[in-house]
């Protein structure tokens, strides 16, 4: 859409006079926050272009596990469980639209299939698909880089009145 064609009265910016700060998260805190939500986005390469898919997830130790729809785009990229894996990123966040406070976490690592095992059956019980359809496999993302930030209310410095 042409920005000049937009109606100014229909554009509502979230206005707040409260100063905010961007706080970098330690990897452990970032993974802990990731475990508090059940949905995020897998970012991967599809036809040499970046692609993203929303998925539900669980955090198992330091690994992120998502369920794969049989025949879906993510199923095609998964490396066998005994291979090094395919490079992917995983992003999840919680940002309040009114206060514009919250957090965002990005995990970059290697994705591979979870082997047929008790783990896979357990993950199948924990990761319920959003829509009906075959989703018999799981993808494990082993992090190599964990980054994140928290948008917080800026605290006054000790010298402020």
The 10s digit of each residue's pLDDT in 116-140 is 765 666 676 677 766 666 566 788 9
- Higher-pLDDT residue of 75 and 145 is 145
Closest CA to 82 of 123, 118, 47, 116: 116
Q: pLDDT for 40-87, tens place per residue?
A: 999 999 888 999 999 989 999 999 998 887 777 777 776 666 777 889
Residue 43 is part of which domain span? 38-146
Domain CATH code at residue 142? 2.30.110.10
- Tell me whether residue 6 is in a domain: no
pLDDT at res. 133: 61
- How many domains does the structure of the chain reveal? 1
pLDDT at 10 over 50: no
- Tell me whether residue 89 is in a domain: yes
Dist CA 65 CA 60 (whole Å): 7
pLDDT at res. 157: 67
The DSSP code sequence of 16-28 is --S-EEEEEPPHH
- Tell me whether residue 3 is in a domain: no
- Tell me whether residue 98 is in a domain: yes
- Tell me whether residue 160 is in a domain: no
Q: What b/e sequence results for 82-108 when a residue is b if at least 16 CB atoms lie within 10 Å of its CB, and e otherwise? A: eeebbbbbbbbbeeeeeeeeebbbbbb
Q: Are 114 and 122 in contact (CB under 8 A)?
A: no
- Tell me whether residue 159 is in a domain: no
- Tell me whether residue 63 is in a domain: yes
């Amino acid at each position: 859409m042409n920005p000049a064609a937009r109606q100014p009265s229909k554009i509502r910016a979230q206005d707040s006079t409260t100063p905010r700060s961007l706080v970098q998260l330690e990897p452990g805190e970032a993974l802990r926050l990731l475990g508090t939500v059940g949905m995020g986005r897998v970012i991967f390469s599809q036809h040499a272009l970046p692609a993203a898919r929303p998925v539900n997830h669980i955090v198992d130790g330091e690994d992120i596990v998502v369920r794969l729809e049989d025949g879906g785009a993510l199923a095609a990229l998964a490396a066998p469980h005994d291979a090094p894996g395919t490079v992917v990123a995983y992003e999840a966040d919680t940002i309040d639209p009114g206060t514009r406070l919250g957090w965002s976490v990005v995990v970059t690592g290697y994705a591979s299939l979870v082997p047929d095992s008790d783990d896979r059956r357990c993950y199948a019980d924990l990761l319920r698909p959003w829509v009906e359809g075959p989703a018999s496999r799981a993808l494990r993302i082993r992090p190599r880089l964990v980054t994140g930030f928290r948008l917080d209310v800026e605290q006054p410095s000790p010298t402020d009145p």
